[in-house]
Structure 1
Amino acid sequence: MTIKTIKLGGTASDITVGPVAHGLMLMTWTPNPVSDEQAFESIKAGVDALPTGTKAFLNSSEFYAMDFGTANLELLSRFYAKYPDYADKTFLSVKGGVRNGGPDGSMECLRASVDKIQSALGPNKKLDLFEPARIDRKTPLETIMNNLVTLVKEGKFSHIGLSECNANTLRKANEIYPITAAEIEVSPWSYDHNQKAVISTARELNITVVAYSPLGRGYLTGQIKSTSDLPEGDIRSRLTRFKEENFKANWAIVEGLQVIAKKKGVTPAQLSIAWVASLGPHMLPLPGSSKASRTLENLEAGALELTPEESKAIDEVITTNPVFGDRYFGSDEQAHLWG
């Protein structure tokens, strides 16, 4: 397997990463967290498959746990303690900056968040990129960015990212300080005018788009046949697209992707990742994985080339099957989307 690589954007434009990032959320934000051994093998597999000098892009958060605690970061702390030489082989992005259930762009909150993240990570790995998990609409963007730049200059982390921002916010923020990455949801069932605008703006400004949930939180794989397949307590059961009536109505999208994937000899998951990657050289699909075999399968998808006919067929599946249900719980405002 020939692994393609991409250059990150902004202040990290000298850093080369693998073509598919590794989301770590469901290693700990689940009723049944995986063992350290399984999690470590999953991370190592992705790192070891990359060419020398290429880093694996890892994505974590201050609150990826059922109790919204630092379990994900503590898992990484144990990983880097056991495999200290992997610190330089990985590029670590972490979201934070949330207080009282919502985003908070104040210096007090951002500093506390970054310090909490680094404390949980331990001494073996420094935070590479920090991003506010959502844009705080109550604090001026200039204030948020100036706070982040201050923390960079203090050496708290090296690069700034934004999450769930709109294209206009991304442009304004980048005028204040170069943004390395914009993390937004992109998949064959999450691709509307907002995604297209951010993707276009990011390409113009040399910013990486870290495309989370490229598999529609597992739905587009076709492995989850009904809502009853979700484990008890699974956070997806709260999302509107996973409500029974919407779940069934959206199945035509899965069936369309399955036909194209079968012809190409790949899984629907790999097809979805390849499609996201095909949207531009600055696109970095971010699927989650808790198994080494899945990590490698995802990486293989980053090496796939779609023919014009295959891309057209996927586009037809997207345009002829409108998606039922929104991305989160009922409104973009409620989930602090496109800030």
Structure 2
Amino acid sequence: MVSQSIKLGGTAAGISVGRVAHGLMMMTWRPNPASGPVSDEQAFEAIKAGVDALPAGTKMFLNSAEFYDNNWGPTNLQLLNRFFTKYPKYADRTFLSVKGGMRGKPPHITPDASLDYLRSSIDNILKELGPNKKVDLFEPARIDRNLPIETIMNNLVTLLEEGKFSHIGLSECNATTLRKAHAVYPVTAAEIEVSAWEYGENQKAVIAAGTELNISVLAYSPLGQGFLTGQFKSAADIPQGDARAGLDRFQEQNLRANVGIVEGLTSIADKKGVPASQLCIAWVASLGPTVIPLPGSSKASRTLENLQGGEVKLTEEELNAIGSVLAANPVAGDRYWGKHVDLHLWG
């Protein structure tokens, strides 16, 4: 059982969720497709474990998307459809965020926040999700730079008023965009990557805006795609076929340079008597009063371990020690495949 909870922002300010959210991508998108899909039984237990660990009146924040599988299809939503069909009582105990609004398939994907395309996206999401669970929060997965953010927000408000979803979120937005969007209509959440190896000026600015405007900041990948847990010491530790092998930070030279971050954080975690993963989640949670760490898991044991990270309280001395580790070990390598690939970040 966990005790820590947090109020959401924007129009969801009356809703309490667990201090740590649950990303569902890894249930249907696998970094190593050869490892095979996660069974419904395993995925369902991972979701139920998190919900059941929360006190009465606190919802589990679940994060999904229209395209969370290796073929960019709706498998994640279909899994949720089966889950809520089997366990309908869990619908009211969860707060579901879904991303959409992306046209095409990798490597040719582009954000499209036109009213017609957003409507077709959310209609497809609702069809795949089924009748037993509503979409609580809808997020365009990336900011469409072809449209003013004011137009995008007006499009989202139109769909909200049509009853497609209850709250509006943004994903991969910068702080200026977030402020402009919030001036049109209250934004409930902004989803950005935040971790001990992805914490720069953009993250700090979005978190500051979230603090000022009471917007939840959903901090995804707080464990650095597994790197910060210490499972990868060199490129040889990455399984053959694993997509992380192609990422810039996981190249041998960069990976070895980044190990110093893991060693420093692990030393602090060992002194505190907690796993490095929980230290990293607790540190992300400490970055702002509206920040919600969003790790992913497909196993019940990992879900519960992640939730415990929200129970860990870091002292000022420990926070200073973590800051010293990060200052002494600048991150080597780009976030994904290098600056030549446009992933529509920080729109």
TM-score normalised per structure 2: 0.96
Distance 1:292 1:18 in 2: 16
1:29 aligns to 2:33 (yes or no): no
Secondary structure in structure 2 of the residue aligned to 1:250: helix
What is the aligned partner in structure 2 of residue 80 from structure 1? 84
After the TM superposition, which segments of 4 or more aligned residues of structure 1 sit over 4 Å from their partners? Answer: none
Gap change, CA 1:2 and 1:46, over 3 Å in 2: closer
What secondary structure, in the 3-state scheme, does the structure 2 residue paired with 1:217 have? coil
State the Cα deviation string for residues 4-57 of structure 1 (Å, max 9, x = none): 110000000010000000011111111122110000000000000001010000
d(CA) in 2 for partners of 1:141, 1:238: 33
Per-residue deviation, 1:238 = 2.5
Q: Once the 2 structures are TM-superposed, how far is the Cα of residue 230 of structure 1 from its aligned partner?
A: 2.9
Q: How many percent of aligned residue pairs carry the same amino acid?
A: 68
Which residue of 46, 50, 53 corresponds with 2:50?
A: 46
Partner of 2:248: 240
Please report how far the alpha carbon of residue 332 of structure 1 lies from its aligned counterpart in structure 2 after TM superposition: 8.2
Shift of 1:2: 4.4
1:7 and 2:7 correspond? yes
CA offsets 1:278-306 (integer angstroms, 9 cap, x no match) = 11221100001111111111111101100
* Whole-angstrom CA distance in 2 between matches of 1:102 and 1:235: 21
* Equivalent position amino acid for 2:184 in 1: I
Q: CA deviation at 1:134?
A: 0.6
Query: Is the Cα contact below 8 Å between 1:24 and 1:60 reproduced in 2?
Result: yes
Q: Give the one of 115, 121, 129 matched to 2:123.
A: 115
| Offset of residue 140 of structure 1 | 1.5
The 2-side partners of 1:93 and 1:275 are apart by 23
- The SS at the match of 2:219 is strand
State the AA in 2 paired with 1:174: H
Cα deviation for residue 333 of structure 1 reads 6.7
C-alpha distance in structure 1 between counterparts of 2:240 and 2:115, whole Å = 38
Structure 2: tracts of 5 or more residues without a match: none
Partner of 1:153: 161
Q: How many residues align?
A: 339
1:136 and 2:140 correspond: no
CA-to-partner distance for each residue in 1:236-266, whole Å, 9 max, x for gaps? 2232111121111111000000100000001
CA distance in 2, matches of 1:186, 1:314: 15
Q: Tell me which moved more, 228-237 or 255-264.
A: 228-237
Which runs of no fewer than 5 residues in structure 1 stay unpaired? Answer: none
Normalised by the length of structure 1, the TM-score is: 0.98
8 Å CA contact 1:26–1:33 kept in 2: the answer is no
Alpha-carbon distance in 1 for matches of 2:117, 2:240: 33
Which residue number in structure 2 is paired with residue 226 of structure 1? 234
State the match for 1:179 in structure 2: 187
List per-residue Cα deviations over 1:223-242 (Å, max 9, x = no partner): 22333333343332232111
Task: Return the alpha-carbon distance in structure 2 between the equivalents of residues 56 and 127 of structure 1.
Answer: 14
Q: Cα RMSD over matched residues?
A: 1.1
Residue 65, structure 1, aligned to residue 80, structure 2: no
**Which residue, out of 81, 89, 92, partners 2:96?**
92
> 2:176 maps to which residue?
168
Q: 2:268 is paired with a residue of what secondary structure?
A: helix
What secondary structure, in the 3-state scheme, does the structure 2 residue paired with 1:33 have? coil
Q: Following the alignment from structure 1 to structure 2, what is the Cα–Cα distance between the partners of residues 80 and 229?
A: 37
CA distance in 2, matches of 1:299, 1:314: 20
* Structure 2: distance between partners of 1:335 and 1:328: 9
Which of the residues 214, 220, 225 maps onto 1:206? 214
Equivalent position amino acid for 1:77 in 2? N
Q: Distance in 2 between matches of 1:234 and 1:10?
A: 38
Listed as ranges, the matches of 1:262-277 within 5 Å are 262-277=270-285
Q: Tell me the distance in 2 between the aligned counterparts of 1:325 and 1:222.
A: 18
Give the corresponding residue for 2:299.
291
Contact 2:8 2:15 in 1 (8 A): yes
Which residue is 2:264 aligned to?
Answer: 256
